[in-house]
Every structure is written in C-alpha cells, then in structure tokens.
Amino acid sequence: MSDAPDPWHFPRPALAQGLLETLGRGLTSARGLFASRRMGKTEFLLQDLVPAAHAARILTAYVNLWDDRQDPSAALVVAIAKAVKPGMLEKLLRDLRRPIKSIKASGSIKALGEASLEANFADERHVPKAALPLVLQELDRSRKVLLLVIDEAQVLTQARHTDFAHALRAALDTRKQTVKVVFAGSSESTLRRMFARRSEPFFNWAPLEPFDLLGRPFVYAMVEKVNATTKVPLSATDALAAFEALRYTPEFFRRYLDRYLTHPRQGSAAALEHTQTHIFESADFPGQWRTLSTTEQHVLRMLAGGVTDLHGLEARKQLGIALGRKKEVSRSMPQHALRHLLERGVLARVDQGDYRFEDETFADWIRRAAG
C-alpha cells in the first residue's frame, strides 16, 4: 500500500473516531459493517480508521479476504504478525517448516508452544492455522491492544473455512479486551447469516450495522476539487444529479468526474452517459444474466420493476404468465429461485419476504436492457 496521500480522498475523522471509541469502551469487542461494493467502505477503513488507530497508539492489522479467498487463514496470520512484531513472521515460519523432531531436539518448542506443534509442518498449507495462536501469544506478551480489520469478512462463512473460523473465534473469545475486531463486508445477506445463524462460528459475536454512506458533503467537496482544476466549472446541481443516477456509488461518481475533467466541454450529461455505459459493459451483466434460469430472470425482472411480495397470488400469476402458463405458479417456484439468487449473492434478504439487489446497478441494467 502506498504511503502517498490520495488527493481525492474525502476524510471522515468523526466516523473513525466514533468507531474506535465504541470499541474502546469495552462493552463490545467487535463491530460488523456492511455496504455494497464500491461504496467507499474499504477506503474509509484504510484511510480513516487505520490511521486514527495508529494515532491512538493502537496496533492495527488490516486484511482483505477477497484477495485471499482460497486461504484466508494465511492472510490473517501474516497481517497480525506484521502488526504485532515486524520480523517475527519470518522466524516463526522458518521454525515451523523444520521437521517436528528437530524442533523438539533443539528446545525451541518452548518458545513456540507445544500444543501448537502437534501437526506435521512439512506441508506449508498447514502453517498459517498452526501459527495463529503463536502470533496471538506474542501479542499477549506485548500487552498492547490490537485493532483487527477484516474486510470482505463473509469469505469466512464458506464451508471450507469453517474449521479456521472456529479456531479464530476461540482465539478472539479469550482476548476481547486486547483484540478489537471490525468485520466489514459487501454481502449483507451473508454477513447477517454469519452473525445470526446458530450453526455459524461467529453466531451472536458482533452487532451488524450498515456502513454510513457518503452524501452531499462528499459531492460538494469533489465539485470543489474539480473546479479548482478546470476552466469549465461543474455545477453542484449537475454533480448531485449524477451521484443519484449512479446510485450514490463513490467509485462510479469518481469515474464520472474523471470523464468530465477529460472532456469538460461535452458537459455533465455526456460524462454521465459515458460512465453508465462503461459500468454496464465492464460488469458483464449480460454474461451474469445468461447464467440464470428463466424463472430466476423473471423473478429479477419483477423485483427490478417494483414487485415486493413475490409469494402473493398476484405475483405468482404474473410469474406464471411470464413463463407461458395458464395460471399462477406454486409458492415453491419463486421460493426456489429466491434461495438460489441469495446463495449466489445476487439478492440480499432485508426482512422476511423483503429482498433487494446486492448491486443496484444490476437492477438498473435489467430495467434498461433486459426488461
């Protein structure tokens, strides 16, 4: 990660300080934050929360599990080790890779912890899971507080990571005063399951709340920056309209601003149209659409069109007509489609019978191109 400041970053010090104060009170050791992708969540974590923790002399470890979906355990261990004691990881892994007998013979097992060295560490895939308690033991010895920020934390809900997720929770359970955790993610439905389902390792472990999204102050600040660099001023009214059209998505709004600065004389409307076209093309919504069944496609059309009660008689009649049937379909048909769409992360369940798109841009594409 570069240390160079981002000139287009919109700082949110109050939000970062409030989160640190909440965790610092000791009544809770963790928080869960959800927001769709591209909403500025990761930027806030890296450019506001982590620096605020550093300023408060709190150790910080940040990891984005989306980058390490195959082996999140390794990513977490590396992040924690680097935060706790730079240089410790190299020695630890070097020792763990040695044959178990030679470690015992050398006497270094006392420093590493006997209970964690019962496995055969010749296979490096086992190293991260074995190293987790050792790294946390080093934190215990330091008597310092660690802020662990786990971005895209929903990766831990995958079945293949269940054992590690249980081990992680067990390790964190005994360190609630010294390890504060922020679980952040882009899949609301998966995060809700992560903390609300009894079978999940992190059941009831952290309150989940929506990430505070950027609004008018962000737009005004960006307009001010734009107008400081161009001879063709951008009006706040046009910028706000573009932000709304882009579903209040900071990443897309920045693309719009970039297009405007590149071709200012074409105006705001042209910049917006170019941005929307680029978004639809880069997301490959047509490819995603083709992977869905006919029933799932019709269910999404109905949701994008404003239908809310997909289990009601009228909705089932509408679905039956769309599928070429003479009468309404059974309740099980939309239920199966919805379950599959939830599993694939296309939809999120907000409440019983209430669903929304994880990516509202996909809903826009459906309304425009697949209606």
Give pLDDT tens digits for 38-65.
899 999 999 999 999 999 999 999 999 9
Amino acid in the structure at residue 56: A
Residues 6+ apart with CB under 8 A from 251: 38, 39, 40
pLDDT for res 284: 83
Q: Map out the domains of the chain as residue ranges.
A: 13-210, 216-283, 291-369
pTM score, two decimals? Answer: 0.78
According to the CATH classification, is domain 291-369 in 3.40.50.2300? no
According to the CATH classification, is domain 13-210 in 3.40.50.300? yes
The span from the CA of 214 to the CA of 38, in Å, is 11
Nearest to 146 by CA among 68, 44, 53: 53
The span from the CA of 236 to the CA of 212, in Å, is 22
Strands 347-351 and 354-357: what pairing?
A: antiparallel
Judged on CB neighbours under 10 Å (0-12, 13-18, 19+), 167 is middle
pLDDT for res 96: 59
CA 352 to chain centre: 23
Burial 122-152 (b: 16+ CB within 10 A, else e): eeeeebbbbbbbbbbbbbeeeeebbbbbbbb
What stretches in the chain show pLDDT beneath 70? 1-3, 89, 93-130, 370-371
pLDDT for res 303: 92
Judged on CB neighbours under 10 Å (0-12, 13-18, 19+), 118 is exposed
